[in-house]
A = this chain, B = another copy of it.
Amino acid sequence: MIALRQTNSVFKCIIRSSSPALGEIQRYLSPIFVVARFYSAGVMEVEALRKLVMEKQSAVDKQGDAVRALKAAKVAKEDIDKAVTSLINLKLDLKSASKELQAKISDEGDSGEGAALSKEAFRQAVNNTLERRLFYIPSFKIYRGVAGLYDYGPPGCAVKANVIAYWRQHFVLEENMLEVDCPCVTPEEVLKASGHVDKFTDLMVKDEKTGMCYRADHLLKDYCKEKLEKDPLLSVEKVNELKQVLAVLDELSAEALGTKIKEYGITAPDTKNPLSDPYPFNLMFATSIGPSGSSPGYMRPETAQGIFVNFKDLYYYNGNKLPFAAAQIGQAFRNEISPRQGLLRVREFTLAEIEHFVNPDDKSHSKFQNVANLEFLIYSREEQMTLKPPVKIRLGDAVAKGTINNETLGYFIGRTYLFLTTLGIDKDRLRFRQHLQNEMAHYACDCWDAEIECSYGWIECVGLADRSAYDLKAHTEKSGVPLVAHETYPEPREVEKLVITPAKRELGLAFKKNQKMIVESLEAMDEVEALELKARLESEGKAPFEVCTLGQTVTLTKDMVSISKELKKEHQRVFTPSVIEPSFGIGRIIYCLFEHCFYTRPSKAGDEQCSVFCFPPLVAPIKCTVFPLVQNEKYEATARFISKSLTAVGISHKIDITGTSIGKRYARTDELGVPFAITVDFESSVTIRERESKVQIRVSVDEVASVVKEVTEGQSTWEDVLWRYPTHTTNSVDE
């Protein structure tokens, strides 16, 4: 369950690592943006803030204990309600203080307003190239488009296919995961069980005259930011108040938001009309399954639920053994109220999700040692709370110290690091940030986000959560089908136990094909239900019994089930597995990759800046281009021959036989991030040019496809082949 939330955060200077050590080559970089800062630093001292957060945390803990004690003592409902209200208020206080602390941390390292502009300029430069070369196209453009919907054009589509293929190899194949492929159309009851029907909402306000809709928090945020940025006469108190509002924005209730909007006199931005009170809008695309109108459904908001509902079959498929992981890659949908942030906040996107099921008592991972020595930026809860920056730490140490809750979660964090950096994400702009206590759902055990820094700030691209047994329990409860695992004890144990023995023969005679569902429902009863049923059967001889999975109530007689408490030898334990969920937002990863791979360098003549995407061959949409140096039948025939040999070895490529200058054609391939360009300047031998170094080698026509294949697929590096073939020096002004 990836929560596509976004953090406002420091935007750091891009320092690109230099290209392979080739003495004569220089890397030209355009340092067109540096660091950004949105609004001025707070007033309160950091230490004081930290102390405040600690105090509030302890107040919340105490009140939580008090509520639990009241519940256990079964005091009157209004007393419990009162205590709960007070707990909620304390939590809100805590969140507000924590948020302010976080905002303070984000302020560190910021440096003035001009930087925000160059950040925008950089983003504009990347996006111009992406749109011009059809990496993306606004969907349905000839019909004026739809906000939040984008197509991948040919190179974008190829990059996406490469990223997904590598994900499948790196995760599914490597771990022998059970991949499934479920429909997007999902019936309501599944999403009712998962909580999406009730809770997957944003707060919305409507223009009372035109009916135009806005996200309530966006309007409040825009108001506060504009005030802070543009009103020089604000008092210190007002500045603090507005900053406070920004800090707790995500946590405000509908009432609190409405109050603030009224208080500040915020009106509809387009018309200045008054606004309605905020109310929740469900973010799922609703539809109806079948023609009757009586089966509501939604386009799935995530792929995870398709795995959870199949747990029983998948566990069986895995030989009834834990741990195992299932995975799914597919579309997910989110009907945003008003999408912002271009390619990062869209209404339809591809998710790749893993659900790794484990015994809650043993979250070790047999392959953890393979990743334990990785070192990368980890931003623990403690560092966030003590205002320290993220630190580079050995993964094995983070797990050993308990910073990361368990080996399995740690293993996936390590594998995610390897996945992202292999794709070309800059390791210095990638960090794993732990959720603060107040960010996590009550049932979650530990959560981390892989955050990648781009021009929008630090963006959550992968969520890694230990969700304990929550999802399987929710579906067990709603469906009546037990989603559980079994553990066989080495030695049987003697325990007093509720024994439910459905009489299958009698049930079969009475209920025919429904027998199986009834048996499963009987076996799924908890102790209270079972003892009630037993009492009724004993007193009346028969009893009604609701079978959720059938959607009906049947009448059972005494001979159909035996219920008793017995001293039994237990040979096994039945339990709900915990699930550890790495969830990848493929589109966000790709967008960040585009920003990390983009740079400009001057043309040889020095008169213009050329855009380059330095994709690794693994990701590059096209692996190589083939150019005849001049338009000439012989060279074109050679080019076609080479094209055929490249197709034969499975290397995607493009022939360019336009008469454009060779320099311009190189520039075009650089813009698409093509790593290698073959130029046909003889019939027997040709040159291969590497994008980053611009160095060319001379290779015979018969060998060229296999050389490109080996450097593209990673059997050799460019440095390896540099030793094997003569370097080619060109006299052209273009290069």
0/1 string, A550-590, CB within 8 A of B gives 1:
11000000000000000000000000000000000000000
The residue of chain B having its C-beta at the shortest distance from the C-beta of A319 within the complex is B658
0/1 string, A500-513, CB within 8 A of B gives 1:
00000000000000
Within A108-160, the residues touching B (CB, 8 Å) are 134, 137, 139-144, 146-147, 149-154, 156-158, 160
Asked if residues A143 and B187 are in contact (CB atoms below 8 Å), the reply is yes
Asked if residues A290 and B161 are in contact (CB atoms below 8 Å), the reply is no
Give CA–CA (A491, B490) in the complex, Å: 91
0/1 string, A261-286, CB within 8 A of B gives 1:
00000000000000000000100011
Closest chain-B Cβ to A409's Cβ sits at a distance in Å of 23
The residue of chain B having its C-beta at the shortest distance from the C-beta of A306 within the complex is B151
Give CA–CA (A165, B164) in the complex, Å: 11
Asked if residues A333 and B140 are in contact (CB atoms below 8 Å), the reply is no
A317 at the interface (CB under 8 A from B): yes
Asked if residues A151 and B180 are in contact (CB atoms below 8 Å), the reply is yes
Stretch at the interface among A75-83, A243-251, A646-654, A688-696: A646-654
Asked if residues B146 and A289 are in contact (CB atoms below 8 Å), the reply is yes
Given A143-B189, A143-B309, A151-B180, A173-B650 contact (CB < 8 Å): yes
| A182 partner, pick from B151, B182, B291, B309, beta carbons under 8 A | B151
Residues of B within 8 A of A638 (CB): none
| A183 partner, pick from B139, B142, B312, B314, beta carbons under 8 A | B139
Asked if residues B142 and A475 are in contact (CB atoms below 8 Å), the reply is yes
Asked if residues B154 and A178 are in contact (CB atoms below 8 Å), the reply is yes
Q: Which of A186, A287, A647 has the most CB of B within 10 A?
A: A287
Residues of B within 8 A of A600 (CB): none
Asked if residues A151 and B310 are in contact (CB atoms below 8 Å), the reply is yes
Closest chain-B Cβ to A556's Cβ sits at a distance in Å of 21
Asked if residues B151 and A654 are in contact (CB atoms below 8 Å), the reply is no
A549 at the interface (CB under 8 A from B): yes
Closest chain-B Cβ to A558's Cβ sits at a distance in Å of 28
A609 at the interface (CB under 8 A from B): no
Given A204-B291, A309-B141, A331-B154 contact (CB < 8 Å): no
A299 at the interface (CB under 8 A from B): yes
Interface residues on A, range: 35 or more
A40 at the interface (CB under 8 A from B): no
A174 at the interface (CB under 8 A from B): yes
| A190 partner, pick from B140, B150, B156, B295, beta carbons under 8 A | B140
Within A619-671, the residues touching B (CB, 8 Å) are 647, 650, 652, 654-655, 658
Residues of B within 8 A of A306 (CB): 139, 151
0/1 string, A325-354, CB within 8 A of B gives 1:
000000101011110000000011000000
A15 at the interface (CB under 8 A from B): no
| A153 partner, pick from B158, B286, B294, B317, beta carbons under 8 A | B317
Closest chain-B Cβ to A305's Cβ sits at a distance in Å of 9
0/1 string, A459-487, CB within 8 A of B gives 1:
00000000000000001001101010000
A211 at the interface (CB under 8 A from B): yes
A185 at the interface (CB under 8 A from B): yes
Asked if residues B185 and A289 are in contact (CB atoms below 8 Å), the reply is no
A717 at the interface (CB under 8 A from B): no
A212 at the interface (CB under 8 A from B): yes
Asked if residues B181 and A156 are in contact (CB atoms below 8 Å), the reply is yes
Residues of B within 8 A of A152 (CB): 180-182
A86 at the interface (CB under 8 A from B): no
Give CA–CA (A348, B300) in the complex, Å: 13
0/1 string, A166-194, CB within 8 A of B gives 1:
00110001101011111111110110000
Give CA–CA (A480, B348) in the complex, Å: 27
Asked if residues A185 and B285 are in contact (CB atoms below 8 Å), the reply is yes
Given A187-B143, A290-B337, A475-B142, A313-B182 contact (CB < 8 Å): no
Asked if residues B290 and A213 are in contact (CB atoms below 8 Å), the reply is yes
Given A134-B317, A185-B299, A313-B134, A158-B142 contact (CB < 8 Å): no
A288 at the interface (CB under 8 A from B): yes
A730 at the interface (CB under 8 A from B): no
Q: Which of A169, A182, A187 has the most CB of B within 10 A?
A: A182
Give CA–CA (A302, B158) in the complex, Å: 21
A292 at the interface (CB under 8 A from B): yes
| A335 partner, pick from B142, B291, B483, beta carbons under 8 A | B291
The residue of chain B having its C-beta at the shortest distance from the C-beta of A286 within the complex is B287
Residues of B within 8 A of A190 (CB): 140, 143
Residues of B within 8 A of A204 (CB): 291
Give CA–CA (A341, B190) in the complex, Å: 25
Asked if residues A650 and B160 are in contact (CB atoms below 8 Å), the reply is no
Residues of B within 8 A of A150 (CB): 183
Asked if residues A312 and B213 are in contact (CB atoms below 8 Å), the reply is no
Closest chain-B Cβ to A179's Cβ sits at a distance in Å of 5
Asked if residues A186 and B140 are in contact (CB atoms below 8 Å), the reply is yes
Residues of B within 8 A of A183 (CB): 139, 149-151, 347-348
Asked if residues B169 and A310 are in contact (CB atoms below 8 Å), the reply is no
Residues of B within 8 A of A481 (CB): 142
Residues of B within 8 A of A319 (CB): 658
Given A178-B154, A654-B176, A288-B291 contact (CB < 8 Å): no
Asked if residues A179 and B151 are in contact (CB atoms below 8 Å), the reply is no
The residue of chain B having its C-beta at the shortest distance from the C-beta of A146 within the complex is B187
Give CA–CA (A143, B290) in the complex, Å: 16
Residues of B within 8 A of A297 (CB): 146
Closest chain-B Cβ to A306's Cβ sits at a distance in Å of 6
The residue of chain B having its C-beta at the shortest distance from the C-beta of A133 within the complex is B317
Residues of B within 8 A of A161 (CB): 168, 179
Asked if residues A213 and B348 are in contact (CB atoms below 8 Å), the reply is no
The residue of chain B having its C-beta at the shortest distance from the C-beta of A475 within the complex is B142
Residues of B within 8 A of A180 (CB): 137, 151-154, 157
Residues of B within 8 A of A147 (CB): 290
A positions within 8 Å CB-CB of B? 134, 137, 139-144, 146-147, 149-154, 156-158, 160-161, 165, 168-169, 173-174, 176, 178-187, 189-190, 204, 211-213, 281, 285-292, 294-295, 297, 299, 306, 309-310, 312-314, 317, 319, 331, 333, 335-338, 347-348, 475, 478-479, 481, 483, 549-551, 647, 650, 652, 654-655, 658
Query: What are 10 A-B contacts with C-beta separation under 8 Å?
Result: A139-B306, A142-B309, A142-B479, A142-B483, A151-B180, A152-B182, A153-B178, A154-B314, A174-B647, A213-B291
Known contacts A139-B183, A183-B347, A287-B287; 19 additional CB pairs below 8 A are A134-B313, A134-B317, A137-B313, A139-B182, A141-B313, A142-B549, A143-B189, A143-B549, A151-B183, A153-B180, A154-B180, A158-B179, A176-B654, A185-B299, A286-B287, A290-B336, A290-B337, A319-B658, A331-B331
List the 7 shortest-distance A-B pairs measured between CB atoms, nearest first.
A152-B181, A142-B479, A142-B481, A213-B291, A154-B178, A183-B348, A151-B182
